[in-house]
Structure 1
């Protein structure tokens, strides 16, 4: 996919935001996150990989599009996008989508307990424009097609079991997914300018072959209580899923999605927002909005994929902007964590932490070339808060 470009058409006013829940316990702010000093200090000069990091952190390249992953026979896929990590004995596996069409799919890299690459393999083929997705508690990867009436595919990170298309999760321009094991639902974002925020409730938790697809309903504001309504026809055969329920809340370009501690965070690129859905209270609020930043330039623009650490920090990747991954802390401070230099025609994708929280993986989807054949996947190690 080429660079996305969206114009802001409105500027919203200040609204009250409550950042509750155990992950952001005791935090309440009149406005969403504001710039301030980060937990790791300022980013330094670019390293050998062209990445600017805080003191104490270092980076390495783990894969490049079109080249064999070191020590393996697997050729890394084009346009690496959404990703996740899975514990694998003492090591782990990093899964990555391929956002090309035809034959996007997904691949994976296997690491030992010391971080050495021990293997790489394909886990999904024959699909289109696999953008983001999400992991499940039963250790599968949900790979989402970002095309009109696209599907969700449930895949095996180990590449042993065949991928399965999950029709019941709806046909629309899928972006990301996040599992809520408490309420036993999967949240889903939709990447169109008038998209919806969905939840899928499987008939049996752990089996995504059947269930109920719903859309979030809410008034016109950016903060308040929400309700959910069932989508009559998840296939979208006659009417797009987002247009089947009266009063469905519209979101401008749904992107990344991350769940932890009764909370689902998701991003919308068209208005540079990070949203917080409190699943226990069934309430929606803004965590970040670039138009509400005061006292200087917004540090986070082009919001895209999002992940979180066990400390409660959110890591939000930029599609464009300054090619940053920014951190939003539980006390509502937003600041750049890293920046990739010399790759302004790319976007940062697939941020995910290793199971022990000491390594962060992500990709530059188009690298220095600006094309899907130039993708680079990185690892950053250092004193991450845990």
Structure 2
């Protein structure tokens, strides 16, 4: 396979100036990634929270579904899912979706500069099965409904401004979103076995009230060139959006999505793949495929939400699998970063880094009970590397 050079930087928090100013690293590209030793070493025995971590890392529980968030009077939502962090003065905010139907919505936890919890509150209510989403460069959270003809809601992480439904972004089984400030578009995944990959071009960058929804057009191969085509009827009626453009490329269960430095990565759960779109030259390829790991077994299965660190590492949560968050390094090595024990009836959701990159937040959607009412949201602190 031809080797070439690419950059994989990462966005930590929506407040990083228009998603810029993050660290980048050049690396020889030899995807799809293969298993190898991770940059943080082997996982140690599970801690008191049931989480196996590398040496130097610690975990704490910050919220449990149905229980009051410590230090606040707010009861945390059920089935915590996708999330993101936002800078808040010297502290930060972690926003988390609730994947239940009906009710859904999203909540937030505020932290001081020392990491102490200072508040918790609701930012979105009365929506349906809010799964993943994405942060915008103007510090809003896009919460996506994972239902047929679902909507995207733009929410205020501070809970001050009312959430707004963004109809122009299309009605389909939304999963995740990722903002690209260079091309001034929002990428969107679709959680259908015959789903598509979309981008939304706002009429005015920073205002999602109107614009053009497009779908990715490409061949059936796992690599090649791509283009975009307009979706004629973004409301998905009477024909669903994924069937409106005959040349649209089909993806098996779109999940997480992450943008950095002219590249967007997204996962597809039906075939356990991580896809990479190289936006500078309009080509696509596989960054990871569990069936191509040799020798097996593959360390990453049940691919789901994805985020990135300032080192260029991708952190990918498992829906099932071994209940791990695995990472893929810029050198295309895939390895477990953490593992949750005793929660095989759950999935890991919502990985997101604090603005300073020193804390990783995520949830076990159904916790030890296997029920949406048993969700647990965690924080991991440790020596995350700033450069790869």
Bin for the TM-score computed over the shorter chain: over 0.9
Question: What are the equivalent positions in structure 2 for 1:176-215 lying under 5 Å apart?
Answer: 176-215=176-215
How far off is 1:17 after superposition?
Answer: 7.4
Cα distance in 1, alignment partners of residues 67 and 194 from structure 2 = 38
Counterpart mapping for 1:207-356 below 5 A: 207-356=207-356
CA contact (8 A) 1:342 1:368 kept: yes
- Alignment partner, residue 27 of structure 1: 28
Instruction: Report the secondary structure of 2:255's partner residue.
Output: strand
Please show how residues 84-95 of structure 1 align to structure 2 within 5 Å. Answer: 84-95=84-95
Pair 1:74–1:19, CA change in 2 (3 A): farther
Residues 257 and 18 (structure 1), Cα distance of their counterparts in 2 relative to 1, 3 Å cut: farther
Q: Which runs of 5+ in 2 are unaligned?
A: 10-24
Q: Which digits, 9 at most, give the CA deviation of each residue in 1:103-133, with x for residues without a partner?
A: 1000000000000000000000010000000
Cα deviation digits, residues 125-149 of structure 1 (max 9, x gap): 0100000000000000000000000
- Kindly state the Cα deviation for residue 296 of structure 1 after the two structures are TM-superposed: 2.4
3-state SS in 1 of match to 2:316: strand
* Mapped partners of 1:51, 1:26: distance in 2: 31
Distance in 1 of aligned mates of 2:118 and 2:305: 27
- Structure 1 position 18, deviation (Å): 5.3
Shift of 1:26: 3.3
Question: What's the RMSD between the two structures over aligned residues?
Answer: 1.0
Q: For residues 5 and 99 of structure 2, what CA distance do their matches in structure 1 show?
A: 33
Residue in structure 1 matched with residue 142 of structure 2 by the alignment: 142
- Give unmatched runs, 5+ long, in structure 1: 1-14
The structure-2 alpha-carbon separation of the partners of 1:286 and 1:350, relative to structure 1 and needing over 3 Å to count, comes to same
Q: Deviations over 1:243-279 (max 9, x none)?
A: 0001100000000001111111100000000011111
Partner of 2:364: 364
Corresponding position of 1:378: 378
Q: For the Cα contact (< 8 Å) 1:104–1:128, is it kept in 2?
A: yes
Q: Secondary structure at the match of 1:373?
A: helix
- Structure 1 residues 170, 316: CA separation in 2 closer, same or farther (over 3 Å shift)? same
In 1, Cα distance between equivalents of 2:285 and 2:295: 22
Distance 1:245 1:51 in 2: 45
The aligned residue for residue 8 of structure 1 is: none
Q: For 1:23-60, what per-residue CA distance to the aligned partner results, in whole angstroms no more than 9, with x for missing partners?
A: 3623121x400000100000010000000000000000
Q: Report Cα offsets for 1:141-199 as digits up to 9, x if no partner.
A: 00000000000000000000000000000000000000000000000000000000000
Q: How many residue pairs were aligned?
A: 371
Equivalent position of 1:11 in the other structure: none
Match of 1:106?
106
Which residue of structure 1 lines up, in the alignment, with residue 78 of structure 2? 78
> What is the CA–CA distance in structure 2 between the aligned matches of 1:315 and 1:375, rounded to whole Å?
20
Task: Please give the secondary structure, in 2, of the residue aligned with 1:360.
Answer: strand
| 8 Å Cα contact 2:8/2:260 also seen in 1 | no
Aligned to 2:67: 67
CA distance in 1, matches of 2:245, 2:101: 30
Mapped partners of 2:172, 2:2: distance in 1: 32
Shift of 1:16: 6.2
1:141/1:157 contact within 8 Å kept? yes
Post-superposition offset of 1:71: 1.1
If the length of structure 2 is used for normalisation, what is the TM-score? 0.94
Aligned to 1:12: none
Judged with a 3 Å threshold, the aligned counterparts in structure 2 of structure 1 residues 215 and 91 are, in CA distance, closer, same or farther, namely: same
State the Cα deviation string for residues 72-127 of structure 1 (Å, max 9, x = none). 11100000000000000000000000000111000000000000000000000010
Give distance in 2, aligned partners of 1:267 and 1:40. Answer: 23
TM-score, with length taken from structure 1: 0.95
**How far 1:19 moved relative to its partner?**
6.3
